[in-house]
Amino acid sequence: MNGVLIVTGGSRGIGAAICELAASRGYDVVVNYSGDPVPAEDVAARVREHGRQAVSVRADVSVEEDVRALFDAAAELGPVTALVNNAAVTGNTPGRLDAYDVEVVRRTLDVNVTGVFLCCREAVLRMSTRYGGAGGAIVNVSSTAARTGSAGEWVHYAASKAAVDTLTFGLAQEVGGEGVRVNAVRPGMIRTGLHDAAGLPDRLDRLAPSIPMGRPGEPAEIAEAVLFLLSPASSFTTGAVLEAGGGR
Ligand code: NAP
C-alpha cells in the first residue's frame, strides 16, 4: 500500500499509463480529467482490477475551486501522498509564434503553468510536515520542448514547460526539509493522441529519424520514469529533471 496518488489528465495517453502502473505498484488512484468522463472511468475501472481504490474526478486544473474539490475527493480515499501534474494542452494549432492567437497562448499557460502551481500548492498544504502532513512526492510532467523550443510548432507550449521545470527546482528547495520531494520528467516524442489532436497525425513518424534511438516512446515508458521518482527508490532525489526522450 503506497497511499493515494492524484494524476491530473489521467484519462488518456501518458496519464492513463501512469494510473495503471501506479495501481500495479499499490497506489490508490484519483483519475482526473476535464472533458469526456468515459475514458477516465475506463482507466479507474482498470485500476480497480489491480485491487486498488479508484475514482475519476472532473476538474479543470486551471480553476482554483476545481483543484480544491479534486483534492477533497482524493482525501476520501485516504491521505494524499503523491501527485503527478500531467495535464497539459498545446493549443492544437501548430505554427510560428507570429501567427499565434493570444487567447490560445493564455489558455496554454493557464492550464500548463497555473494548473501546476494550483495543484502543487494544494499538495503542499496537505502533504508538508509544516502543515501537519506526513510528507509525499510530486512529479511534474514537463517536455524536452523546454530545451528545444519547438520552433514552428508551439513555442508558447515549450515556454510553459520551461516554467514547469523552474517551478520544480524552486518548490523542491522550499519543501525539501518538510518531507515533500518535487521532481520532473521530460518526455520526448511519445505515441499518444496529442499529435493527432494538434492536426499533425504524421508528426511522430516524420520526426522519428531525429531521435537517436530511432523511434518514438510509448506512454508506459514515461510511466516507469514517473513511478521511479514517486517511489522510495528515489528517496534522496529532489529538484531533478529526468530526460526520457530517446536521446533527443
Ligand atoms: P493527451 O493524450 O492529450 O492527454 C491529456 C490529458 O490531460 C487528458 O486526460 C485530458 O483530458 C487532460 N486535460 C487537458 N486539459 C485539462 C485540464 N484543463 N484539466 C484537467 N485535465 C486536462 O496528452 P499526452 O500526450 O498524454 O501528454 C501528457 C503530458 O505529457 C502533458 O503534460 C504533455 O505536455 C506531456 N508530453 C507529451 C509528449 C507527447 O509526445 N505526447 C511529449 C512531451 C511531453 P480531458 O481532455 O478530458 O480534459
Question: pLDDT of 53-66, one tens digit each?
Answer: 999 999 999 999 99
Alpha carbon nearest to ligand 1 atom 11, residue: 33
Q: Please state, in angstroms and rounded to a whole number, the distance separating the CA atoms of residues 65 and 51.
A: 31
* Tens digit of each residue's pLDDT (9 = 90 or more) over 105-163: 999 999 999 999 999 999 999 999 999 999 999 999 999 999 999 999 999 999 999 99
Percentage of the residues of the chain whose pLDDT score is greater than 90: 96
* Tens digit of each residue's pLDDT (9 = 90 or more) over 165-206: 999 999 999 999 999 999 999 999 999 999 998 888 899 999
Instruction: Specify the pTM.
Output: 0.99
Left if phi > 0, otherwise alpha if psi is -120 to 50, otherwise beta: which for 13? left
Q: Which residue of 190, 203, 226 sits with most ligand 1 atoms within 8 Å of its CB, as the best mutation to test the pocket?
A: 190
Contacts of residues 177-180 at CB distance under 8 Å and 24 or more positions apart, as own/partner, are 178/124, 178/128, 178/129, 178/130, 178/135, 179/127, 179/128, 179/129, 179/133, 179/134, 179/135, 179/136, 180/123, 180/124, 180/127, 180/128, 180/133, 180/135, 180/136, 180/137, 180/138
What are the cell numbers at 91?
493549443
Nearest Cα neighbor of 57 from 19, 92, 13 is: 19
* Tens digit of each residue's pLDDT (9 = 90 or more) over 199-240: 888 999 999 999 999 999 999 999 999 999 999 999 999 999
Q: What pLDDT was estimated at residue 1?
A: 67
* Mean per-residue pLDDT of the chain: 97
- Domains of the chain (ranges; CATH) run 4-244 (3.40.50.720)
Q: Please state, in angstroms and rounded to a whole number, the distance separating the CA atoms of residues 18 and 10.
A: 8
Give distance in angstroms: CA of 129 to centre of ligand 1. 30
Give distance in angstroms: CA of 142 to centre of ligand 1. 11
Beta pairing partners, 54: 29
Active site residue 100: no
Query: Helix, strand, or coil here: 12?
Result: coil
Other CB atoms within 10 Å distance of the CB of residue 141: 27
Ligand 1 atom, smallest distance to 34 CA: 48
Ligand 1 atom, smallest distance to 37 CA: 47
- The CB of 193 under 6 Å from ligand 1? The reply is yes
Give distance in angstroms: CA of 44 to centre of ligand 1. 17
Give distance in angstroms: CA of 131 to centre of ligand 1. 30
Q: What pLDDT was estimated at residue 212?
A: 98
Is the pLDDT confidence value at 92 over 80? no
